[in-house]
Amino acid sequence: MNFLIAFVFAVFDALSEVDLISRLRRREPKAMADLYDRYGRLVYSVIFKVVRDRTVAEDLTQETFLRIWNRTQFFDSEKGALGPWILAIARNRAIDYIRSVDGRMSKRATEFEPAAEHPTAFLNLERDILNSDRAKLLQTAFAKLTPSQRQVIELAYWEGLSQTEMADRMKQPLGTVKTWVRTALKTLRNELEEVLTA
């Protein structure tokens, strides 16, 4: 029975997301309301974790949704995964902001170009990834990282630091930081693979 319920919900979610993307592409204002109701709090939470200022987080949340509104024309309603795309845009807007505030933007403007923000990068991802079993596994695996590994992951995701910048911040050799980063990401992936293939 649980399987059936999960199946029904998965199909409904898929249908409603396909419909939502189609309506966004038609620039229906109501679609924006539905999009905000579905992702607004998550987008705001991600941005707030980066900028730690409510007013700035609100401005950047509005900017994020404006960007989505202007780019959904290029989003594939059949194959695109909306959640990961929206979170990438939100995080990038927030990181852009803190870089501009602390002066890193001018120093690395040409380097910080998120490789994956264009809608076409988000094709064929698991559509309901944020609510999947894999999400729960990854969150559990994250808790198993060593303090150093967890710190480098947080510096990357929430402060937008490159490995060189992490080494400066942590006053550690670059090679040590690279090892922590690789090991952390590998550990997360291995934990997933072990459970999923068991």
Centroid of chain to Cα 111: 19
In the complex with another protein, which residue's Cβ is closer, 14 or 101? 14
Give the span between the Cα atoms of 20 and 77, in whole angstroms.
Answer: 8
Shortest separation between residue 86's beta carbon and another protein, angstroms: 9
Q: Which CB sits closer to another protein, 8 or 101?
A: 8
Tokens of 87: 């979170």
Cα distance between residue 89 and residue 74, in whole Å: 15
Q: How far is the CB of 39 from another protein (least distance, A)?
A: 10
CB of 9 or CB of 101, closer to another protein:
9
Q: How far is the CB of 146 from another protein (least distance, A)?
A: 16
Residue whose token pair is 């399987």: 3
DSSP 86-121: HHHHHHHHHHHHHHHHHTHHHHHTTT---SS-SGGG
Q: Please, what is the minimum distance in Å from the beta carbon of residue 171 to another protein?
A: 19
- Choice between 55 and 103, CB closer to another protein: 55
